[in-house]
Structure 1
Amino acid sequence: MYKIIGLTGGIASGKTTVSNYLKDRGYTVLDADQYSRQTTAKNGPALPQIIEAFGEDIVNDAGELDRKQLGSIIFNDADKRRTLNEIVHPLIRQMMNADEAKFVQEGHVFLDIPLLFENGLDQRCDFVVTVFVDRDTQIKRLTERDDLTIEEAEARINSQMPLTDKVMKSKYRIDNNGNLDALYEQIDRFTEELESM
């Protein structure tokens, strides 16, 4: 029987790299961030509620969500972050559930969800895989990737459950402190085990 596998990590921990490698290996990966972008796109189902909650200034002249501005608001205010999540998460879940039900008939399905534990979605998975790095590496990668200050990077990291907690709650852990070869080797070992279950 095919498995529903939670795939999570922290911001800038390398979860997307793992996700892409799994896709390259032929696995179905349902990415919560992609569904989120669909719901918040111009004319997306969440956008009117987001404008109502955060004001007209949250969209640019083209009528698209100003993600950077929204990020600077929600990563520094837990209440505003909760408001956004209450708008977006039910829509994401609805879309993911429909695709999950379809694809699990054909093979294992990975649910790539950054806030998997935070939202209790680990309960829907057969087990969870967490991609982790140490905090210094996480800060370094995040500041370089998103052109953030150390303070901005820390605010984003602190808005999530600590990676150490996610690791403890997971059946499988993938250490991404090394290079890509070491990362891919761990994924290969994990998928071999998955296929023998």
Structure 2
Amino acid sequence: MIVGLTGGIGSGKTTVANFFAEFENVIIYNADSEAKKLMNSSLIIKSKIIEEFGEESYQNNQLNRLFIANLVFKDKSKLEALNAIVHPEVKKHFQQFVNQHKNKDYIVYENAILFESKSNLKCDIIISVYAPIKVRIDRTVLRDGSSKTAVENRIKSQWLEDKKLLQSNYVISNFNREDTRSQVIRIHNILTEKIGRI
């Protein structure tokens, strides 16, 4: 079973994923971090990014993140072009990951743009992590050292929260760490019970 885990920037997806990772019968696939690795290791992605955004996209054979971020988070068409290059390769990589971990009860597929990339179509269950917009902005500024404006631009590039929540099977409200852990345990128990019935 594939369980999609999503939520806006700063909502606390990774905190929730780490709680799920504590269960031995579960494994996590973080699409964001795997995409970052692939952008540096995949020759297919590299050549397409350079073709689309120019030679400045890479420095010392590593993705020039600041250059790319400044382009894509101000221009929706450029973000769509980047996603069109990266997402097909991430999807292939994820499928290999699924094949390698058939022994697990379920795989948590953590993806900030689960719906935007249509990756939700691969998922049996979808969980969204929710936190108020002000909390999300404050967390991200603190975590990344970004400006408030930069974070707001990234939020604008993602789906509206309500749209995600309405299409989710479960919503985890991430305000308090222990309460969040309790919600994860409750959902894990429901999911493993469902698997037992199949």
Q: TM-score, normalised by structure 2?
A: 0.92
Report how far residue 121 of structure 1 moved. Answer: 1.9
Report how far residue 9 of structure 1 moved. Answer: 0.8
SS at match of 1:24: coil
Give aligned pairs, total.
193
Two-structure CA RMSD over aligned residues (Å): 1.4
Report how far residue 68 of structure 1 moved. Answer: 2.0
1:128 and 2:126 are equivalent in the alignment: yes
1:187 and 2:193 are equivalent in the alignment: no
Deviations 1:22-68 (A, max 9, x none): 112221111111320222115643112111111111222x2211112
Query: Residues 43, 89 of structure 1: CA spacing in aligned structure 2 closer, same or farther, 3 A cutoff?
Result: closer
Query: Residues 149, 34 of structure 1: CA spacing in aligned structure 2 closer, same or farther, 3 A cutoff?
Result: closer
- Uncovered stretches (5+) of structure 1, i.e. residues with no partner: none
Report how far residue 105 of structure 1 moved. Answer: 4.5
CA distance in 1, matches of 2:120, 2:62: 32
Give the fraction of aligned pairs with identical amino acids, expressed as a percent. Answer: 30
8 Å contact 1:12–1:142 — kept in the other structure?
A: yes
SS at match of 2:116: coil
The equivalent of 1:32 in structure 2 is: 31
8 Å contact 2:130–2:172 — kept in the other structure?
A: yes
CA distance in 1, matches of 2:29, 2:82: 21
Paired amino acid for 2:177: L
8 Å contact 2:40–2:61 — kept in the other structure?
A: no
8 Å contact 2:4–2:123 — kept in the other structure?
A: yes
Paired amino acid for 1:80: K
CA distance in 2, matches of 1:94, 1:88: 10
The structure 2 residue matched to 1:96, chosen from 94, 97, 104, is: 94
SS at match of 2:88: helix
Report how far residue 92 of structure 1 moved. Answer: 0.5
CA distance in 2, matches of 1:102, 1:8: 23
Q: TM-score, normalised by structure 1?
A: 0.92
Paired amino acid for 2:148: I
Q: Following superposition of structure 1 onto structure 2, how do residues 44-193 of structure 1 map, counting pairs within 5 Å?
A: 44-60=43-59, 62-176=60-174, 178-193=175-190
SS at match of 2:127: strand
Query: Residues 125, 90 of structure 1: CA spacing in aligned structure 2 closer, same or farther, 3 A cutoff?
Result: same
Query: Residues 145, 106 of structure 1: CA spacing in aligned structure 2 closer, same or farther, 3 A cutoff?
Result: closer
SS at match of 2:128: strand
CA distance in 1, matches of 2:128, 2:43: 30
8 Å contact 1:30–1:100 — kept in the other structure?
A: no
Query: Residues 145, 91 of structure 1: CA spacing in aligned structure 2 closer, same or farther, 3 A cutoff?
Result: same
CA distance in 1, matches of 2:191, 2:32: 25
* Displacement over 4 Å in runs of 4+: none
CA distance in 1, matches of 2:45, 2:110: 20
More displaced 10-residue stretch of structure 1: 21-30 or 132-141: 21-30
